[in-house]
Amino acid sequence: MQRMKYPWALLCVPPSNHSELWEEMDLNNNTEKANENVHSVAKQEGALVKSLSRKPNGITLLEKAKEKLLQNNTIQTSRCPRHLKIKNWETGTILQDALHHEAKEVLNCQNKVCQGSLMNPKGLIRGPREEPIPRDKLLLQATEFIHLFYNTLQKAETEEHTTRLEAVAQEIERTGTYQLTNEELIFATKQAWRNAPRCIGRIQWSNLQVFDARSCTNAKEMFEHLCRHLEYATNGGNIRSTITVFPHRTDGKHDFRIWNNQLIQYAGYQMPDGSIVGDPAKVEFTQLCIQLGWRAKYGCFDVLPLVLQANGQDPELFELPPELILEVSMEHPTYEWFKDLDLKWYAVPAVSNMLLEVGGLEFTACPFNGWYMGTEIGVRDFCDVRRYNILQEVGRRMGLETNKLSSLWKDKAVIEVNIAVLHSFQKQSITIMDHHSAAESFMKYMQNEYRIRGGCPADWVWLVPPISGSITPLFHQEMLNYIISPFYYYQVEAWKTHIWKDEKHKPKKREIRFCIWAKAVFFASSLMRRAMAVRVKATVLYATETGKSETLARKLGDMFNCAFSTKVTCMGDYNLKDLEKESLLLVVTSTFGNGDAPSNGKTLQNALLSMKQLSNKFRYAVFGLGSSMYPEFCAFARLVHQKLAQLGAFPVSPMGEGDELNGQEEAFRNWAVLTFQTACEIFDIRGKHKILLPKEYTCKETWNPKDFRIVYDSRPLDLEKALGDIHGKNVVPLTLKFRQNLQSSQSSRVTMLIKLSCEASQEINYLPGDHLGIFPENREASVDGIISRVADAPPFNEIFRLETCCDRGYWTPYKKFPACTLSQALMHFLDVTSPPSQQLLRSFSQLAEDKSEKERLNLLCHNLEEYNKWKFYNSPTILEVLEEFPSIRLSTSFLLTQLPLLKPRYYSISSSQDWVPQELHLTVAVVSYRSRNGKGPVHHGVCSAWLNAMAPKKTIPCFIRSAAGFQLPKDPRKPCILIGPGTGIAPFRSFWQQRHFDLEKKGIQGRGLILLFGCRHSSLDHLYREEMEEMHRKGILQEVYTAYSREPGNPKDLLRKELEAEVYKLLHEEEGHLYVCGDIRMASEVAKTLKEMFAKKLSLTEEEAEDYCFQLKRQKRYKEDIFGATFPKENQRTMEEIKTEGPIKVLQTQAQLKL
């Protein structure tokens, strides 16, 4: 047999081999120290080589080492290993960790996921082996350990060192493994404890008592060793840190294992009624012990037997002698009743299921113990829900408000339980440590380790005690978690991997129960498969920008699941190939911008428009959501409905439309029920007349005061978090830094430049063209006026939450918004300014006590024409409705459940983050008008008026909404035409600021922007005039064209002939980009003008010109950022004029701009 060569090159590796780990520059400027270390290492390696060259069999190995060196060409000086800095946020102390370079394995983190909070990550678990460790791999790891051992003893490069290395190599060559000396074993066990990142008591690592049980051969001997271990460790209550080490793993088939998690642990019994007696965490292992022959006692604190496996044989049971088990009965220093709980716990926490890895050897049985930290028993063992779970009983006996979380009863109770544990142990003079002392000792240990070893592996998640958190020093200390050898690993439970030698003794599974359960599951699943297999498949597609369409789509899916096999999918995730496989397609979608699809619906839109015919003529139904404020109301939904019909699909029901301003929810319910009933008829669904639909579709929605109740709370409102949870946004508070009126002092209107600032620590990133969403506040006068009409209004500063009674009769939190005061709810969360919908008026009619008012409300909620006339004339707020119908008797729960949510207001950002870091600018027109043809009360824009009245340095809850379809082209050489009248200039200011930054700071010369701007008067409301002129002088704006709609002799279409040829050239010939920002009607007028221009220039029909413009949008070269009518009074006029003139001829009171 060829003799195994010992890899001496491991100890003579040139520094260049190490440099792969140290390629980063030394951030701590320790270059001088690094060179000293490198020279020292080189000196040691040289000495070791010399010592080896004196040995006869070392000469050959030295030749191999030299050959290894020649392969690396040259020896380079390595850089200093990069230190990782960790900070103590309480003291400001910085520690530098270099020890992590010795880490052996990837622990918890992956490229995209941190698994640091997992209980048992894969990196900490060693499973069984089916064959021995390969000799070469074992030799490498043995070398590292022997080197570490002799370095620690300061005997490196000595004759003793090299002799031991040769002996290990020869033993591995001969037997496939090797044995540690007694000194090496003691060193390894202590070093592994020292390296244990989850142990808070490591300051005692050097005091570990080691019992060598490697000569053990059978389970009986194992038991005797363990009895000696417990006797020594217990020491009459003066607990001593102890470990007993059994033979290491060889081929994986002769393992020594202790099947118990701890040497002492209490049983848990699953009773016939499902209850548990004892420790719930030990139910599975207790059942195993019973099946192995242990006689259960069915007490709460029965000590389980030891289940021991020796040399790979089947396990044997051993009862621990009672005299070896020291237990502590629990009592409290002040609460006499605590004794009545009959609690006790064992004194020695001896962990017995871990694996010691050292030098490639795996010791699968090495029980060890320290002593308890009080919270391990008081918090985890006694109070965890999946353990003894005594917290509720303790709180009840203490007289705490256990039905009210805000009373902090859990915190009070758990403290008293811990006091009882510490008191009980100390009373019997049994070693225990409180968590504060343990934390302090670990901090001292950690500092010593950084001084001695340059690091300390530590798992923050595990080390911070389960109570007291930030009042312990550990909470504030950053830590690094890594594995260095020697190390204690977790193991897979032995009973899950053991291969039984005697099948008669193998525990039997609960065959009857499992069989019954399996049959029941199989029978139920088979029935379900049969039912679903014969059901008609239905697909519900949704496209949304705000989430409303998704909510309704899922409700529709729930309804159709009553009779169909239904799947709900976002259009953006839909496989277009499945379109030809559909039987029933249901579409719920909103419309975005100027009649466009939402971003996640564009792929389906393009696919439908490119399709010529469907081979599969499926059934379909479409429901559109939108606002009648926009001329292109439900345009995308109508497009889908019409296109599917053109392709040959058959509609199940007429298209449904839900108007945000008028009973959207009710319209959806009516359409959904009609569609479902019709679909059942068309597909001849069996038992269709007996199908029970969800309750919300079958009963007429009315408000029932018995369904809600007020519960007082004490938790203060976290506004930003609440708004983020309600609206699903990442809300950040910005500060009002500056506000300036951009209009002339002679102007009757106000347009503000608002500058908001954010702290450096806040993460808020945006691009030119993006939007800022702002959560405004309602006016205080309106809120107070409403509260004065609430019959059961809580005290002004009283915090409460709303609860609702579910179908099962118990009360659950109303999740629309969190606990707050009534004024906070009306101020921040509820819309009190928008005209009420017909649905809300129907609810108001329930509360009206005057007969004539009730009749009037019923007329308005049932007669759409009368309702529209009333709404557009009055544009009433909630307070004005209450003033018009004073007999309405309001309640708090009614307001909170029936009023709609106050929606965020969106503004185009008027700044570049590169140009003004930590700032964000807005251009805001302050809205103020009178209803009732100018004779009614003054109405103010909710957000604009709030911003205009706000004091500087006040915070504003905000979030960024990306406008990916309205951003500058990536190629700055492409021509850009910007059209924006009035406040439509807002995003274009961010454009020119970005181009200015690119030119000034980056030296990027982009093509000048062409700006078309319109307003009323050049002297009154020409916004950013000076900036425009400056940008024009610098070439950022190539041309600036203006139109003033209220100045005599200045036609609105003055620019048409001048620009027609240039616009055509830039868009058609040079593939430029067109940006339009402003009112929806202005955008429609621009679109009409463009179509006429292309039809004329390219000799296209009207339909071809429209398709040409559509292609520009698909290529993302025609981009729109548009909004609805500015003033509600214009809505009324718009509704009337659209009927007679069509939307294109309706002109906004702002300047209108034509090309």
Complete edge-to-edge strand list for the sheet that includes strand 242-245: 209-212, 242-245, 368-369, 350-351
With the C-alpha atoms ordered 39, 45, 50, 53, is the resulting torsion angle positive or negative? negative
Burial of 84 (0-12, 13-18, 19+ CB in 10 A): middle
Gap between the Cα atoms of 11 and 29, Å rounded: 27
Strands lying side by side in the sheet with 316-318: 257-258, 306-309, 316-318
Instruction: State the residue for tokens 């649905």.
Output: 839
Phi, psi angle pair for 933, to nearest 5° = 55, 40
Instruction: Indicate if the alpha-carbon torsion angle 431, 434, 435, 439 is positive or negative.
Output: negative
* CA-to-CA separations, 1114 to 109, 559, 647, 957, 1107, in angstroms, rounded: 41, 36, 21, 35, 10
Tally Cβ neighbours within 10 Å of residue 982.
27
SS3 1014: strand
Q: Choose, from 371, 495, 671, 946, the residue flagged as catalytic.
A: 371
End-to-end CA gap in the chain? 94
β pairing state of 487-491 and 125-126: parallel
Are 212 and 185 in contact, with CB atoms under 8 Å apart?
yes
CA dihedral angle for residue 813, residue 819, residue 821, residue 827, rounded to 10 degrees:
-100
What 3-state DSSP class applies to 433?
strand
Q: Omega of the bond prior to 813 within 30 degrees of 0, cis?
A: no
Query: Which residue is catalytic, options 45, 376, 853, 1130?
Result: 376
> Choosing from 126, 202, 801, 995, which is the catalytic residue?
202
Of residues 370, 374, 380, 369, the one with CA closest to residue 433: 374
Binding-site annotation, residues = 199
| Active-site residue, 905 included | no
Q: Are 162 and 48 in contact (CB under 8 A)?
A: yes
What does the alpha-carbon distance between residue 899 and residue 531 come to, in Å, rounded to a whole number?
Answer: 42
Pair 577, 616: CB distance under 8 Å? no
- Where on the phi/psi map is residue 332: left (φ > 0), alpha (ψ -120 to 50), or beta? beta
The answer to whether residue 199 is catalytic is yes
Enumerate the known binding-site residues for heme b: 199
Question: Would you state the structure tokens that stand for residue 788, as one six-digit string?
Answer: 């004065």
What's the half-sphere exposure (Cβ side, CA atoms, 13 Å) at 131? 2
Q: What are the start-end ranges of the H helices in 692-816? A: 695-698, 719-727, 780-787
Is 725 in a helix, a strand, or coil? helix
Evaluate whether 447 touches 428 at the Cβ level (below 8 Å): no
β-pairing, 800-805 vs 327-329, is: unpaired
Q: Which helix (H) or strand (E) holds 629?
A: none
Catalytic one among 12, 80, 199, 216? 199
Is the CA virtual torsion 573, 575, 578, 580 positive or negative? positive
Active site (annotated) includes residue 202:
yes
Half-sphere exposure of residue 450: CA atoms within 13 angstroms, side-chain side: 18
Which of 564, 516, 508, 522 has its CA nearest to residue 540?
Answer: 564
Q: What single DSSP character describes residue 423? A: H
How do 344-346 and 487-491 pair as beta strands?
unpaired
Give dist(CA 1063, CA 1061) in Å, integer.
6
Burial class (CB in 10 A: 0-12, 13-18, 19+), 290: middle
E-state strands within 98-167: 125-126
Catalytic residues: 199, 202, 371, 376
